[in-house]
Structure 1
Amino acid sequence: MTLAVLLPFLAIAAVAGYFQTVTGFGLGMIVMGATSGLEVAPVASVAAVVSLMTLANSAVALPGKLGHLDPRVTAATIAGILPAIVAGVLLLDYLSGSAASVVRVALGLVVIYGGVSLVLRPRQHDTLSSRKSFFVSGVLSGLFGGLFGIAGPPVIYQCYRQPMPLVAIRNMLILLFAATSGVRTLFVALRGQLDAEILTLTAWAIPVVALATYAGRRWPPPLSALAMRRLAFVTLVAIGAGLIASELY
C-alpha cells in the first residue's frame, strides 16, 4: 500500500468522521463514495473498513448520550437491521464478481438518495411512528449496510420525520450505525474476509477518525440545522453523481 493511496484515504476518513459527528450521519457515504470514485480500493474492502471506522466513531461519540433514546423504537429498528445485513453482504459478494460496474452505480444512487432525503423530508409527525414502521426502515438500512457498509438513508428519513429532539435523532442514528457495523464486521470476520489490506487501512484510519470525532464534539461548525442539511445535500449529491458519471462515461 503506497502513500499515494493511504494519504487520500485518511484525508477522506478525517472529513467523514468529523461530518458524521456533527450531523449524525455521513461517514460511510462520504468514504464509500469518494474512495470508490477515486478507485482507491475495491468496494467490498472499503465497505469492511467503513464498518470498523464507524465503530470507532461511535465509541467516541456515544458515551453518556444514550439517555435520549426511545428503547422500544430503537430495538425495533435494530431487529430489522440484523438479518438484512447478512443478505446484503452475500449480495455484494455475488455482484462484485459478476457486475462490478452495477455495484458502483448502485452505490452512487444510494449516496445521492442519502443527500436528497435530507432536503425532501416530509413534515414531522405529530406522534411517534409505529414499531413496525421502524422495523421496515431497519430492514432496508440493513440491506444497504450489508451491501456498502452504509446503513444511512432509510433510517435517516425515518428518524428525521419523528417528533423527537435533534440530539435524540443524532444519537439514535449513530447507535444504529454502530449496530450495523458491528454485526457486519462479525459476519465478514467469520467468513475469513478481513484480509491484510482491510486491517492495514483500518489500523491507520481508526485514530484519524477518533481525532476527527473528538474535534467534531469539541468544535462543531457555527451552522444552523438547515445549513448543515444543505451542506450535506450538496456534498453527497456531488459524490454520488461523480461516481455514476465515472461508470457511464
Structure 2
Amino acid sequence: MERDMDASLLAIGFVVFLAAFTQSLSGFGLALVSMALLPALVGIRTATALVALIAVVIEVVLLLRYRQALEFRAIWRVMLASAVGAPVGIALLRGLDEGVAMFVLGVVLVGYALYALLGLRLPRLEHPLWAYLAGLLGGVLGGAYNTSGPPVIIYASCRDWPPEVFKSNLQGYFLFSSTVVVVGHALGGSFTPEVWRLFWLSLPPIALGLLAGMSLDRWLSPVTFRRVVQVLLVVMGVRLML
C-alpha cells in the first residue's frame, strides 16, 4: 500500500516536472500536459484544482522573465472575457459526470493538437470581437479543465506577434486567467486538504522543470519540442475519450 502511494506521488511529480518544463520552454502547454495525465492519477476534480494552483506559481515566474515584452493593450480584452467565462466553466465541471468531463477534455486536447500539427493558418484577426470570443472560450475551458490555452493560442497565432511578445502576452493572460480560476475554486470549496498536500509536494518538481526549461531553451528547438508534445497530446486525448 505504502509502495503504491510512493509510486503514485513519483508519477504526479514527474507530470508536474514535465508540465513546468514544457511551459518554460515553449511558452505554453502546462495545462495541456498536466490535465492530459493527472486526472488518471488523482481524478479530474482534484487535478483541476491542483493544476490551477500550480499554474499561478509557474506563470508568475515566467511573466517576471518575459515582462519587458508584455503588451497589455493587446490582451486586455482577452483577459476581460476570460473572467466572464471562468465561473461558467467551474459550474459546468461540478455539474458534469466525471466520465463525460474526461471525454470532453479528450476532445479539447485532440482538437487543439491536430490543429497545431496540421499547421492550419487562419487569417489575421484584427477585429476586437475575436479577442473577446477567444477570451470567453478560454475562460470556460480554464474554469472547467484549466485548459484556457487553445482558443487564446490560436488567436495569438493569428496576430503574428514576435516570439518574445507571444510568450510574454500568453504568460500575462495565463496568470490572470489562472488567478480568476483559483478564486472561483476557493469560493467553491475545491481546495481540499489533499489538494493542498499535493500542491506543496509539487513545488520541487515545479522548480526543477522551470530551471530545466529556461536553461535548455537556447539549445533545444521549441518548435520541434512542441511537435513532440502535440503528438503525445493526440494519444493522451484519445485515451481520455475511450
Same fold (TM over 0.5): yes
CA separation in 2, counterparts of 1:243 and 1:122? 24
Match of 1:20 among 23, 37, 43: 23
Q: RMSD over aligned Cα, in angstroms? A: 1.9
Shift of 1:124: 6.8
Letter in 2 for 1:32: M
Letter in 2 for 1:49: L
SS at match of 1:194: coil
Match of 1:104 among 102, 105, 116: 102
TM-score (norm 2): 0.92
Unaligned runs of 5+ in 1: none
CA separation in 2, counterparts of 1:173 and 1:117? 18
* Pairing 1:196–2:193 present: yes
Runs of 4+ in 1 over 4 A off after TM superposition: none
CA separation in 2, counterparts of 1:30 and 1:64? 22
Compare 170-179 and 77-86 and name the one that shifted more.
170-179
Letter in 2 for 1:119: L
Aligned match of 1:173: 170
Shift of 1:229: 3.5
Change in 2 beyond 3 A, CA 1:44/1:21: same
1:149-205 Cα shifts (integer Å, max 9, x gaps): 111110111111212101211221122111111111111112222101110111111
Aligned match of 2:115: 117
CA separation in 1, counterparts of 2:172 and 2:204? 20
Counterpart mapping for 1:21-170 below 5 A: 21-36=24-39, 39-95=40-96, 99-123=97-121, 129-170=126-167
Residue-pair matches, total: 239
Match of 2:237 among 237, 240, 245: 240
Say whether the 8 Å CA contact 2:114–2:234 is kept in structure 1: yes
CA separation in 2, counterparts of 1:199 and 1:159? 33
Shift of 1:121: 4.4
Letter in 2 for 1:174: Q
* Pairing 1:3–2:3 present: no
Letter in 1 for 2:46: S
Say whether the 8 Å CA contact 1:27–1:54 is kept in structure 2: yes
TM-score (norm 1): 0.89
Say whether the 8 Å CA contact 1:58–1:174 is kept in structure 2: yes
CA separation in 1, counterparts of 2:87 and 2:175? 16
Match of 1:220 among 217, 220, 232: 217
Say whether the 8 Å CA contact 1:60–1:210 is kept in structure 2: no
1:35-88 Cα shifts (integer Å, max 9, x gaps): 22xx21121110111111111111221114223232222111000100100000
